[in-house]
Structures are given as C-alpha cells and as structure tokens.
Amino acid sequence: MRLFCGLDLTAGVRHELGDLVRKLRPAARIRWSPVENLHITTKFIGEWPADRVERIQQALASLPAREPIPVRIRGLGWFPNPHNPRVFWAGIDAPPALAELARATGAALAAIGVPPETRPFSPHLTLARISAPAPLAGLRQHVAALDSTDFGAFVSESFFLYLSERSPGGSAYTKLAEFPLHKP
C-alpha cells in the first residue's frame, strides 16, 4: 500500500482552486492535478504492508493533542525553481504548528520503521507536474495577470492517513483514517 498523511481542504478553498485551474489549464500542456486530490502532505510514508497499517494508525493516534491549525492558501510558484520547473504549486501560509505536526508525525512513524524525511518540510499544494520541458510562457502570463493569488483560508482540526492508488488516469486518494488534533 502506498500511504501518506495530510490535511484536507475545505470545499470553499477547493472551489477557489478549481476556478484557478480551469483558468490556467488551457495555457500549458502539463499534468494538472485533479482538484479533488489536492491536500497538504505532512508525511509521505510510501509503500507499507497492508497487514501493518494498524501499527501506523496506532502511532498516529498516539500523537499528543494540539490546537487546530489555521491555514491560508496563498501564492503560486515552481519547484525546484522557475527556470527548470517540475512542479507548479500553490503556497501554504500557516503557523509553526503545521511544521510541528509534520515533525511529530515523522517521529512517531520513524519509531515503527517508516524512513524519516531527508528534505525540509515545505508545505504546498501540487497544482501540476511538469515531466518534460514544456512551453510555459503562456502559463506565466496568465499567472502574472491574476487579480489575486489568495485562494482562501480554513482551520484544520484533524489530519488523515491516505491511501494512494495509481491508475492510468492518475492517482486516486482514499482516506483510511482521521486523527483529530484536539482530543476529548
């Protein structure tokens, strides 16, 4: 099973991003992410045996309670850089509590054998992937002409364990478990 942890988006933010993608899609022939797949990854787990998923769920459920995390989706950019991009993203504006959740999740999962992250935590929403050199001038012009790159805000009260299943049309994500941040 291919797994990851992340925050879900609200319907309002998803709607705003859907409008953005509909406007920008004609400007570049790149692999656009389905809007329903957008999420904020806090920990990529990768392949994990199905018979050991319960261990992951127990590790995640053991995380200490924390306050809900306010998140704003704002700004657009490119990874690894604008000159040779592989990913077109929307930015995440959140307090240090989001990075702390990612760190705590990684530590809890490392204790049961999930490899730790080697890259710094860089929260974002992957809007599109660019697998081969593509003409992006039109997309850059459309982005520069946007009235706003603020796509809304929400408060996350939980995070999820997701299953990622690859298919010919792209990946499909299924929520396997929800973990409230504030425990009763």
Catalytic residue among 15, 39, 142, 182: 39
Please state the three-class secondary structure of the chain as a single string.
CEEEEEECCCHHHHHHHHHHHHHHHHHCCCEECCHHHCCEEEEEEEECCHHHHHHHHHHHHCCCCCCCEEEEEEEEEEECCCCCCCEEEEEEECCHHHHHHHHHHHHHHHCCCCCCCCCCCCCEEEEEECCCCCCCHHHHHHHHCCCCCEEEEEEECEEEEEEEEEECCEEEEEEEEEEECCCC
Q: Identity (one letter) of the amino acid at 91?
A: G
Query: In whole angstroms, how large is the CA radius of gyration of the chain?
Result: 17
HSE, CB side, 13 Å, CA atoms: give it for residue 104: 17
- Active-site annotation holds for 124: yes
Catalytic residue among 15, 124, 142, 182: 124
Catalytic residues: 39, 124
